[in-house]
Structure 1
Amino acid sequence: MPTAIDLFAGLGGWTKGGRNADLNVLLAANHWPEAVEWHTRNNSDTIHACQDLHQANWADVPKHDVMLASPCCQGHTKARGKAAGNPQHDNSRSTAWAPVQNAEVNRPEFAVIENVPEFMDWILYPAWADAMQRLGYALAPHIVDCANLGIPQHRERLFMVCSRSKAPLHLQLPRYQHAPAREIIDFDAGKWSPINKPGRAASTLIRVKNGRERFGDRFVMPYYGSGSGLTGRSLDRPIGTITTLDRWAVVDGDTMRMISADEAMAAQSFPKDTLRPDNHRLTMHMTGNAVPPLAGQRIIEALKVAA
């Protein structure tokens, strides 16, 4: 069985997807103690390292065939909410060098780096790509809407396939039927509140009105931020991108609520038996940062075919 490591492992989307694709994930590493705790609870037979990967001793990492990595995306994404060039985002972008350092020491045959597509707009991306190529890797960027892999969520992400081959390895990814949001919404669960109540934002009421006109009494809509404009989104299509903060609301007649942490995890394709914190905000943060396990699985399965 091919072996792998999962860097910036978070809640374990890459690990779960890798295992479902028959990879033996030997090690998972992350700097955040809470993420390591819950990754450990779900993957007790994996070695765990809780540390800043800028400081890792890569010689201590078990030899592996595939490196899976999701460096911080907050410094690249258009939704970052802070001005470019601030130190926090400069520091988050620098996490992308950890996979390069591991590649230099351990030289796995393959690496798949997941991030937002804007990763390739980073001013240092040419230097990053040059470093990987100098280490003997051919790079094949794949920009994928995870909905096309059967995830009940529109989530556009970059999967950079790095291979120790003469030519880049371009994956043949089947296009799966879209999974509708109604599959993940439980209308019998959650805390519902009246739509018409004091303090409700005018933009929310406009979205509800427009959503009703288009989709009837039941639909989802963005509650915070943008997305779908000033209308809702049909339950017959995937939900929009799950982020680290509450964003999506569910409307049912004259009541509404935010989607639950369990629904967000289902939108990310985590199995129902995945262990998670009781804390809603913490779970949403981990979930919004995760690689959808089913997307990871299908990327790795395509990699094994191409290899």
Structure 2
Amino acid sequence: MMDAIDLFAGLGGNSEGARMAGVNVVWAANHWQAAVEIHAANHPGAAHVCQDLHQADWARVPAHDLLMASPACQGHTHARGKERPHHDVTRSTAWAVVSAAEYHRPAFVMVENVPEFARWALYPAWCAAMSALGYALAPMILDAADCGVPQHRRRLFIVGTRSKHPIELQIQPRQHVPAASFVDFRTGKWTPINRPGRSARTLARVAAGRARFGRRFLAPYYGSGSGETGRCLDRPIGTITTRDRWSVIDGDQMRMLTAGECRAAMAFPDGYVLPEDRRLAIHMLGNAVPPPMTAAVITELRRAA
């Protein structure tokens, strides 16, 4: 049995993906207590720590074969607009991976982030540091939809192996799963589309989507993602984000996706525990890694290693 640790574990997408791939997660850490509590509820067999990982005492972390990490992506992604002062702080979280790897020297390292991570000014230095520790790095960009997740979500995975050359992973795309697989028209809080106060831009998006897709479809509530035309239910949904983004249209009524639907769109199991507060649940899901992506990477890593 391969043992793993999970840095910046969040809701637990990497840990759940590792479990799907037959890997035992022995330790998980995050700086946010609410996330640690939810992770512990879903992965009670792992030891949990809530702390700034820059301050971690790696001597107290169990031995492991695989180090998994999803450093903060907010400093790299453009999803939230222009630069902000905290970005340099969030970018620096990636150095905790180097620190942990230096102490434990596990056989494998897997880092997940947004594709923009590779355009970070210090990315070459980060790669050089990992190389100095003996790791050959194999970066790849995956779309969650190609891993069987009913959502398009492009992410960078960097696999490090203690080998002379980078390992070659060949992850075969799976058949896409449509959004119809998780949208339940019998649930949620529906409201009339033409209610007082509804934004004219929202009404225009709904009208455009109705003309193209009929009575039932999805639409980006804030005008991003699928532009002004919405998205049919026969294809994967666009990226699930940390705040309400997607509305469901059914005739003359509409609603936002439920937390349960977002969980399914991220391909977490139906019974996976979420925060009771819906807004907090949506936030954690939007920050998470779809488990099948991690499972696909680990499965192929174990086959190729």
Q: By the TM > 0.5 criterion, same fold?
A: yes
Q: Deviations over 1:286-306 (max 9, x none)?
A: 111111111111111011111
Q: Which residue does 1:129 correspond to in 2? A: 127
Matched residues in 2 for 1:225 and 1:163: separation?
A: 42
Selected match of 2:183 from 175, 182, 185: 185
Matched residues in 1 for 2:85 and 2:97: separation?
A: 21
Matched residues in 2 for 1:280 and 1:55: separation?
A: 31
Q: Which residue does 2:249 correspond to in 1? A: 251
| Distance apart, 1:25 and its partner CA | 0.7
Q: Which residue does 1:275 correspond to in 2? A: 273
Q: Which residue does 1:241 correspond to in 2? A: 239
- Map 1:6-17 → 2, pairs under 5 A: 6-17=6-17
Matched residues in 2 for 1:28 and 1:176: separation?
A: 29
Matched residues in 1 for 2:148 and 2:273: separation?
A: 23
| Distance apart, 1:80 and its partner CA | 2.3
| Distance apart, 1:207 and its partner CA | 1.1
Matched residues in 2 for 1:18 and 1:103: separation?
A: 18
Q: Which residue does 2:209 correspond to in 1? A: 211
Matched residues in 1 for 2:293 and 2:116: separation?
A: 19
Selected match of 1:111 from 98, 109, 112: 109
Q: Deviations over 1:151-209 (max 9, x none)?
A: 00000000011111111112110110000001110100000011111221122111111
Q: Are 1:63 and 2:63 an aligned pair?
A: yes
SS of equivalent to 2:163: coil
Matched residues in 2 for 1:116 and 1:11: separation?
A: 17
Matched residues in 1 for 2:109 and 2:223: separation?
A: 34
Q: Deviations over 1:25-67 (max 9, x none)?
A: 1101101000000111111111001111011011111111101
SS of equivalent to 1:119: helix
Q: Are 1:42 and 2:42 an aligned pair?
A: yes
Matched residues in 1 for 2:173 and 2:43: separation?
A: 30
Q: Which residue does 2:159 correspond to in 1? A: 161
Range that drifts further, 200-209 or 153-162: 200-209
Matched residues in 2 for 1:273 and 1:65: separation?
A: 28
The percentage of aligned residue pairs carrying the same residue is 60
Q: Which residue does 1:148 correspond to in 2? A: 146
Amino acid at match of 1:88: H
- Map 1:48-87 → 2, pairs under 5 A: 48-81=48-81, 83-84=82-83, 86-87=84-85
SS of equivalent to 1:48: strand
Q: Deviations over 1:119-155 (max 9, x none)?
A: 0111111111110111111111110111011100000
Amino acid at match of 2:66: V
| Distance apart, 1:20 and its partner CA | 1.3
Selected match of 2:194 from 196, 211, 223: 196
User: Mind listing any 5+ residue stretches in structure 2 that lack a counterpart?
Assistant: none
Matched residues in 1 for 2:26 and 2:276: separation?
A: 27
Matched residues in 2 for 1:202 and 1:121: separation?
A: 38
Q: Are 1:232 and 2:244 an aligned pair?
A: no
Selected match of 1:223 from 215, 221, 224: 221
Structure 1 stretches of at least 4 aligned residues deviating more than 4 Å after TM superposition: none
Amino acid at match of 2:235: R
SS of equivalent to 1:87: coil
SS of equivalent to 1:80: coil
| Distance apart, 1:87 and its partner CA | 2.5
SS of equivalent to 2:63: coil
Amino acid at match of 1:96: A
Amino acid at match of 1:178: H
Amino acid at match of 2:165: A
Amino acid at match of 1:220: L
Matched residues in 2 for 1:291 and 1:74: separation?
A: 14
SS of equivalent to 2:17: helix
Amino acid at match of 1:23: V
Q: Which residue does 2:93 correspond to in 1? A: 95
| Distance apart, 1:270 and its partner CA | 0.6
User: Mind listing any 5+ residue stretches in structure 1 that lack a counterpart?
Assistant: none
TM-score for both structures, normalised by structure 2: 0.98
